[in-house]
Amino acid sequence: MGAALSNLTEGANGSTDRPGLGDIPESCVAHVFMHLTPPEICNLARLNWAFRRAATSDAVWEAKLPPNYQYLLDLFPPDRYRNLCKKDIFALISRPIPFDDGNKEVWVDRVTGGVCMSISAKALSITGIEDRRYWNWITTEESRFHEVAFLQQVWWFEVDGSVKFSFPAGVYTVSFRIHLGRFFKRLGRRVCSFEHTHGWDIKPVRFELSTSDGQQAACNCCLDESEKDDANGNHKRGYWIEYKVGEFTVSDSEDAMEVRFSMKQIDCTHSKGGLCVDSVFILPSN
């Protein structure tokens, strides 16, 4: 027996010849993988052959997929997913899937496996959107939909939207992604202008949601800080902020649920403006 051979017959973990992590069979590794997240599993695929095989096993990935993943697959042409193993299905649906003319996107979170959704301002009903004195569309890379609605000035501020979708059972949070002030690049740096930003500190904006099975949630929030706080720096201007509307619960993922949401400030005694509306997010509450 040569020197190289005796090294090998010592066993894969060197000094001891009792089996260790490097020798546990693929089926055991698969059980361990049930308790790790997809990024962790994929990171370990190159450890050795048992880990690699376990990292592609259908049993592991079936457990990671949302229970109604077929519903998400139906957003694709059947050819796209026909011969895919469960791991590749997960990879496919973990990237944003556009639907509704590309104005909505849905995807599965890589770590948690939760179903997430984003709805563009283009899919929302914005009062006065067609009047360029009030609203304009801005092309920007700061939005996943590449376009946001900028409000110059209006008295009746109302943004409504809805979506009908089969979410897996769980609790979800709805939020509006908003930016006070306008933004652009000047000499490679991001710069904000608050020239038109006004009226948001006078009265709060009302956020509401309701579902087809009768759930409701609401909250009121001032989007801007009043003048006297400016000395400490205004923490609401110049950033994309997600304003939480509330939560809704899905008990049965078989039926599609319709979720309606809105944000309003319709007190016409004062005008408001200088605000960008990007999108609405529906994310699993953590």
Interface with other proteins by CB under 8 A: which residues? 1-5, 7-9, 12-16, 18-22, 24-25, 27-28, 31-36, 38-50, 52, 55, 91, 94-95, 110
Q: What dihedral do alpha carbons 60, 63, 64, 65 form, nearest 10°? A: 120
Nearest distance, CB of residue 49 and other proteins, angstroms: 5
- Helix and strand counts by DSSP (H, E) for the chain: 8, 15
> Residue 251 phi/psi, 5° resolution?
-95, -30
Distances from the Cα of 240 to the Cαs of 72, 142, 148, 223, in angstroms? 29, 9, 12, 12
How many CB atoms neighbour CB 220 within 10 A? 11
Give Cβ neighbours of residue 18 (< 8 Å, ≥ 6 apart).
Answer: 11
Tokens of 42: 């994929």
Nearest distance, CB of residue 279 and other proteins, angstroms: 23
> Between residues 111 and 266, which has the closer beta carbon with respect to other proteins?
111
Residue type, 64: K
Nearest distance, CB of residue 16 and other proteins, angstroms: 7
> Between residues 22 and 102, which has the closer beta carbon with respect to other proteins?
22
> Between residues 20 and 102, which has the closer beta carbon with respect to other proteins?
20
> Between residues 45 and 219, which has the closer beta carbon with respect to other proteins?
45
CA distance 95 to 279: 18
DSSP secondary structure code for residue 251 in this structure: S
> Between residues 12 and 256, which has the closer beta carbon with respect to other proteins?
12
Query: Where does residue 96 fall: left (phi above 0), alpha (psi -120 to 50 degrees), or beta otherwise?
Result: beta
> Between residues 21 and 138, which has the closer beta carbon with respect to other proteins?
21
Nearest distance, CB of residue 105 and other proteins, angstroms: 17
Nearest distance, CB of residue 260 and other proteins, angstroms: 32
Nearest distance, CB of residue 84 and other proteins, angstroms: 13
> Between residues 136 and 249, which has the closer beta carbon with respect to other proteins?
249
Q: 224 and 125 in contact (C-beta within 8 Å)?
A: no
Nearest distance, CB of residue 117 and other proteins, angstroms: 20
Lookup result for tokens 């996107």: 105
Nearest distance, CB of residue 43 and other proteins, angstroms: 6
CA distance 248 to 229: 34
Tokens of 231: 């000395």
> Between residues 21 and 222, which has the closer beta carbon with respect to other proteins?
21
